[in-house]
Structures are given as structure tokens and as C-alpha cells.
């Protein structure tokens, strides 16, 4: 199966995603420049981390209007899997492919390992996980403070769209384990159709134990398994 990794000017985790999908997981992967509209026959689209367009104006605000986003929107509307990691999550929010918005972290830029608990397993990126599974994955962001109005939050919970939450090592939701002030300790969500997932932690940087953790691999293996079954 094939991953398309979108590259915006300022993306800097595009090669991490490429390395994880191609070299660690042995899948086909290709970069797609943001001015292109051809997703090259990919089965999965990755919007990687970084600082698209320098994070100018707001994170993801300019990237939303890149030509490639029309293709990503159509790809997602057809039910295909799309994952936005960190800045990619921010782009999905600005593009309104996912609900809500990001605020600045409550204190500062955070670059550290966190524990992300899998809340729902019926998405293409968590189907190999068990509910409540805790993944040790790094974060690196200054704007991961997820916000949505009370009505949107109620909808997210009612429709089981909260996919990852920040927890302690023991898997408990605590204020101390929330690195950025996110509402309800939200680390990742999905859309109503469940094929578009965005998360702030970087699973693609946690695919080899030599690099500190291999817990993130299951996120990519999940989507690979969807196509292996097909």
C-alpha cells in the first residue's frame, strides 16, 4: 500500500513520516508538494508535522488554501484515511476537516515524551490498539491547546470522536499529565465518518525502540492492516 506525504513549505517531519512508512514498515511512500494536486494513487494521506508557511497568521491557516488541500478534501470525502500529525492536525482544523481550533499552550513550547491513551479503536489508525492502551509518544509543539465551544465538545463526546487523551504513565487523566492545557486532555480526534484523524503526538517518531519508543508504530500498522485485509 502507498502513503502520500504532503510537503508544505516549512514541513519538517515529512522525512520522519517517510522513514517510518518506507524504511521501518516497508510500505510504498511518496512526497506530494503542496502545489501539486495529484496524490499519486496513494491509499493513505499523511499531513506531517512542522511549521507550514512558518505558522504565519495562525498554525495551518495558510496551508489550508494550498492547492493540494482540494485533493485531500476530496480524498477524505470519499472515505479514505487521512492522518494529520501535529502541524498536520492544525491544518486539518483550519481546513474544517476536523472540528475545533488550537490555542497557544498554557505555558510554553513543549518537547517531551507524553503518554497518550487510546480512547476509541474503530478508526483506521487505532484498529490494532486495545481501548485504554497507553502509548509513549513524543510531542513537540507550542500550539496544541485544543479548544472547541461547549456544543462542539458535547458532539465530540457523544459521537466518540475523542481518539487520544493525555494521561499519566498509569493511564489516568490528570492535570499534571496534560502538557498544553487541552480541553478534556484531548490529544487527538477524528471526524464523524472516522476516516480523518488528527493528533498532536508524533507516532512516526516513535517507531523504533532505538529512538526511545516504538509505541507509535501501531498507529501506522493499524492503517496498513486495513489494506492488508482488503
Partner 1 sequence: MTARVYVTLKPSVFDPQGHTITEALHQMGYGGVDDVRQGKYFELNLPGTSADQARTLATEVARKLLANPVIESYRIEVAE
Nearer to partner 1 by Cβ, of 94 and 215: the residue is 94
Pick between residue 34 and residue 205 the one whose CB is nearest to partner 1. Answer: 34
Burial class of 26 by CB neighbour count within 10 A (0 to 12, 13 to 18, 19+): exposed
Question: Of residues 13, 34, 86, 143, which has the active-site annotation?
Answer: 86
**Segment near partner 1 (CB under 8 A); pick from 76-84, 98-106, 192-200, 215-223:** 98-106
Is-catalytic flag, 157? no
Q: Determine whether 169 is an active site residue.
A: no
What does the alpha-carbon distance between residue 114 and residue 162 come to, in Å, rounded to a whole number? 17
Write phi, then psi, for 77 (nearest 5 degrees). Answer: -65, -25
Interface mask toward partner 1 for 23-62; x: CB under 8 A = ----------------------------------xx--x-
Q: Which of 35, 106, 132, 174 binds partner 1 (CB under 8 A)?
A: 106
Residue 65 C-alpha cell reads as 488554501
Range 143-162, binding partner 1 (CB under 8 A): 145, 147-149
Which x/- pattern over 163-182 shows residues binding partner 1 (rule: CB under 8 A)? ------------------x-
Whether residue 204 lies in the annotated active site: yes
Name the helix (H) or strand (E) containing 117.
strand 110-118
**Alpha-carbon span 57 to 21, nearest angstrom:** 31
Using CB under 8 A, which of the segments 80-88, 99-107, 115-123, 166-174 binds partner 1?
A: 99-107
Q: How far apart, in whole angstroms, are the C-alpha atoms of residue 20 and residue 5?
A: 11
Phi/psi for 28 (5° steps) reads -80, 140
What distances in angstroms separate CA 36 from CA 62, 68, 78, one per listed residue?
16, 5, 19
Chain residues that interact with partner 1, rule: CB under 8 A = 57-58, 61, 65, 93-94, 100-101, 103-107, 145, 147-149, 181
Amino acid at each position: 500500500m502507498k502513503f502520500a506525504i504532503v510537503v508544505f513549505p516549512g514541513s519538517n517531519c515529512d522525512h520522519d513520516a517517510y522513514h517510518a512508512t518506507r524504511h521501518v514498515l516497508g510500505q510504498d511512500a511518496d512526497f506530494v508538494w503542496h502545489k501539486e494536486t495529484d496524490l499519486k494513487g496513494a491509499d493513505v494521506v499523511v499531513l506531517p508535522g512542522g511549521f507550514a508557511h512558518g505558522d504565519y497568521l495562525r498554525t495551518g491557516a495558510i496551508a489550508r488554501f494550498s492547492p493540494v488541500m482540494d485533493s485531500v478534501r476530496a480524498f477524505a470525502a470519499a472515505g479514505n484515511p487521512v492522518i494529520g500529525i501535529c502541524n498536520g492536525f492544525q491544518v486539518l482544523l483550519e481546513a474544517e476537516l476536523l472540528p475545533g481550533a488550537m490555542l497557544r499552550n498554557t505555558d510554553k513550547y513543549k518537547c517531551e515524551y507524553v503518554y497518550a491513551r487510546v480512547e476509541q479503536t474503530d478508526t483506521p489508525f487505532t484498529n490494532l490498539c486495545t481501548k485504554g492502551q497507553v502509548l509513549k509518544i513524543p510531542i513537540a509543539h507550542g500550539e496544541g491547546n485544543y479548544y472547541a465551544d461547549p456544543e462542539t465538545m458535547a458532539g465530540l463526546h457523544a459521537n466518540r470522536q475523542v481518539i487520544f487523551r493525555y494521561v499519566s504513565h498509569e493511564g489516568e487523566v490528570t492535570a499534571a499529565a496534560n502538557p498544553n492545557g487541552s480541553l478534556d486532555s484531548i490529544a487527538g480526534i477524528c471526524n464523524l465518518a472516522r476516516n480523518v484523524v488528527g493528533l498532536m503526538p508524533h507516532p512516526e517518531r516513535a517507531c523504533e525502540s532505538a529512538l526511545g519508543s516504538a509505541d507509535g508504530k501501531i498507529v501506522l500498522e493499524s492503517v496498513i492492516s486495513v489494506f492488508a485485509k482488503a
